[in-house]
Structure 1
Amino acid sequence: MFKLTPRTTVTALALGLATSVAAAQAWPTKPITLVVPFPPGGSSDALARSLTTSLSQSLGQPVIVESKPGAGATLGADYVSKAKPDGYTLLMGAVHHTIATSVYKKLPYDFEKSFAPVTTVALVPNVLVVNSKSSATDVKGLIAQAKASPGKLTYGSNGNGTVQHLIGTQFAALAGVDILHVPYKGSAPLTTDLLGGQVDMSFDTLTPVVQHIKGGKLRALAVTTAKRSTTLPDVPTLAESGLKDFNQGTWFGVLAPAGTPKDIVARLNTEMVKIIQSPEFKKRMDEIGAEPVGDTPAQMATQIKDDTAKYAKLVKDAKVAID
């Protein structure tokens, strides 16, 4: 029977490390898939496509955007968490995933432990919008309308447990109104119904609605962040509109399955940050109302940890739970 000695153990570890380093240096040798856990047409999809066009060139391999929507973005996350940790399957994650940790009673993955953060791509303000035919021209008017018809006005979100859902519950609590939540599978179907008048309002990210706002089909009443959006500088914040200290936004970032070699994560971070900080990418972000970030894996991990704790409290206060 073969027995390991200290020398053979060290040799084996060295060989394993050498093999891992060699594999990382050779990467990538085939196409990479970036999974977007929402339907096409939303902020995550727009950011993913803006990023992968240049990333394909810098890595020398195609980076394919694949949509896997459902269950408040958790289906796509679950798929990536179970993928081989070799750098060929990535997730376009979002703040929604830090919320899902508290909202869903049973998740098949642990967002903090099942993924290796790569970088935050961008921050996107959320905006309270109504159809241009709505009689509400400001937040005060919308609140008055909601109080006059309790439980009649509806707000759409990207799904149960998403940041739009929680923004809606927080808005209702602070404004003292009863509004009905209507969950969708993503921004595209939500925006379609908002334009068609099937839902009264939404607190979606700016990206999928900005062109409709500028085109006059939707009316922006307020942004949900502490500061006004540079894309819509004339639109007040909810805090300015009377809802004190309201400050909620949405970040999007790339993650790999836990266990992905650190050299590959570092390479991904380096290449992505170069793109995110480029003038071309920043110009594209201005067009869709996003603010480019490009931080380190450690900084993104801290953001995830902090937001998980922050939204756990909001979820508890709002009594939101999904089986």
Structure 2
Amino acid sequence: MLKCFFRGLVAVQLAAASFLVAAQGWPAKTVTIVVPFPPGGTTDVLARAVANKLSPVLGQPVIVDNKPGAGATLGASLVAKAPADGYTLLMGAVHHTIAQSVFRKLPYDFQKDFAPITTVAIVPNVLVVNAQNPAANVQDLVTIAKSAANKLSYGSNGNGTAQHMIGTQFQQITGAQILHVPYKGSAPLTTDLISGQVDMSFDTVTPVLPFIKEGRLRPLAVTTAKRSSALPDVPTLQEAGVPGIAIGTWFGLLAPAGTPARVVTRLNGELVKIIQSPDFKKQMFDIGAEPVGDKPEEMARQIKEETAKFASLIKAANITLD
């Protein structure tokens, strides 16, 4: 019995030593950033921007792997269960702090099963309609929506995402009943919005900005507390007569919980330098994003605060999903 115990102890110590050596030699192979949405959306765009800058710094390939589904929780689940060795990362977002309360059962705990690295950027959400929509402003849109229940539809990046939450709040405040149409991501949503399959969306600025500039989509209001630098002439919802909504979407990198502190610290240091570099800042400005680059503990605090905030909003709105 005692001999078996010591054998087990030695095995554990050897495994720990092996893991430490691997961490010290990190990175020795390709690093994967899992994006829980399809290609073309803001999460994907930011992940690829980061990967392109991070790869030469680390001296190893950094690739993006799109794993869409279940309101961004499928990709998160895969990363939560991945080895905590620094080779599998998640481009997470505000959606994950919402999902924690929206879904009855999740195979992970966003606060306990992930190690925050840094917030890459914050992107305002914007209420947009097809250019053929007769609504010239938010109040016009509310009037049309209230003329008949579910007369209008709004698309989101999936159940339990920020767009879903904003749409729900918008209806509660205005009294309009608008049909929710969930998509797997921004790319298919934007395609249907342009073609008129859905009437409106509360998506992030990045995927719709080119079509706003082309005149194919019309922005009515941003959902943040202040105006977007990318759309300075577009009012906030507060200014447009719909108070009580101040939600933007943050995006950041996380690793599985238990990832060696040395790896997290290295990633944070390299990423902050990238995010704060002039060329990356310009790249973010061009797509309507505001670069951040904070410390892991600051990102962890933001996640904790927003999880609590959205839990209250979700409880009040009585939103639950299986």
TM-score if structure 2 supplies the norm length?
Answer: 0.95
Q: 1:178-217 CA distances to partner (integer Å, 9 max, x unpaired)?
A: 1110000000000000000000000000000001001100
Which residues in structure 2 correspond to 1:128-207 (within 5 Å)? 128-207=127-206
- In the alignment, what sits opposite 2:59? 60
Contact 2:94 2:162 survives alignment (8 Å): yes
- Name segments (4+ residues, structure 1) moved above 4 Å: 2-5, 11-21
Secondary structure of 2:207's counterpart equals: coil
SS of corresponding position for 1:122: strand
* Match of residue 78 from structure 1: 77
C-alpha distance in structure 2 between counterparts of 1:61 and 1:286, whole Å: 27
Tell me the distance in 2 between the aligned counterparts of 1:143 and 1:282.
36
- CA 1:14–1:322: 2 relative to 1, 3 Å: closer
Give the whole-Å Cα distance in 2 for the aligned partners of 1:106 and 1:246.
27
Alignment of 1:1-323 (within 5 A): 1-2=2-3, 20-323=19-322
| 1:107-158 CA-partner distances (Å, limit 9, x unpaired) | 0111111111010100000000000000001001101111112221000000
1:13 Cα deviation after fit: 10
Q: Is the 8 A contact 2:84 2:259 kept in 1?
A: yes
Q: CA deviation at 1:171?
A: 0.6
1:203 and 1:246 mapped to 2: Cα distance? Answer: 12
Alpha-carbon offset, residue 21 of structure 1: 4.6
**Contact 2:166–2:245 (Cα < 8 Å) also in 1:** no
Q: Is the 8 A contact 1:226 1:245 kept in 2?
A: no
1:181 aligned counterpart, secondary structure: strand
What is the distance in 2 between the residues matched to 1:193 and 1:12? 56
CA distance in 2, matches of 1:148, 1:16: 66
Cα separation, 2, equivalents of 1:166 and 1:12? 48
Gaps of 5+ in 2: none
> What RMSD in Å do the two structures reach over aligned CA positions?
1.8
| Distance (Å, rounded) in 2 between the aligned partners of 1:86 and 1:21 | 10
SS in 2 for 1:209: helix
Alpha-carbon contact 1:155-1:182 (below 8 Å) kept: yes
Give, as a single letter, the amino acid of the residue that structure 1 aligns with 2:298: Q
Equivalent-residue separation in structure 1 for 2:310 and 2:131 (angstroms): 32
Q: CA deviation at 1:24?
A: 2.3
Q: Which amino acid aligns with 1:30?
A: K
Query: Deviation of residue 176 (structure 1)?
Result: 1.3
Matched residue SS, 1:272: helix
Q: Provide closer, same or farther for how the CA distance between residues 70 and 3 of structure 1 changes in structure 2, counting only shifts above 3 A.
A: closer
Instruction: State the AA in 2 paired with 1:108.
Output: P
- Cα distance change, pair 280–196 in 1 and its aligned pair in 2 (3 A): same
Gaps (5+ residues) in structure 1? none
* Aligned residue pairs, count: 319
1:317 Cα deviation from its structure 2 partner: 1.4
Alpha-carbon contact 1:100-1:161 (below 8 Å) kept: yes
**In 2, Cα distance between equivalents of 1:97 and 1:200:** 26
CA distance in structure 1 between the partners assigned to 2:169 and 2:21 by the alignment:
50
AA aligned to 1:242 is G
- Secondary structure of the 2:84 match is coil
Separation of aligned partners in 1, 2:216 and 2:55: 36
Question: Conserved in 2, the CA contact under 8 Å of 1:21 and 1:263?
Answer: no
**Alpha-carbon displacement from aligned partner over 1:283-304 (angstroms, at most 9, x marks no partner):** 1101110000000110111111
One-letter code aligned to 1:46:
V
Aligned-residue identity in percent:
65
8 Å contact 1:221–1:236 — kept in the other structure? yes
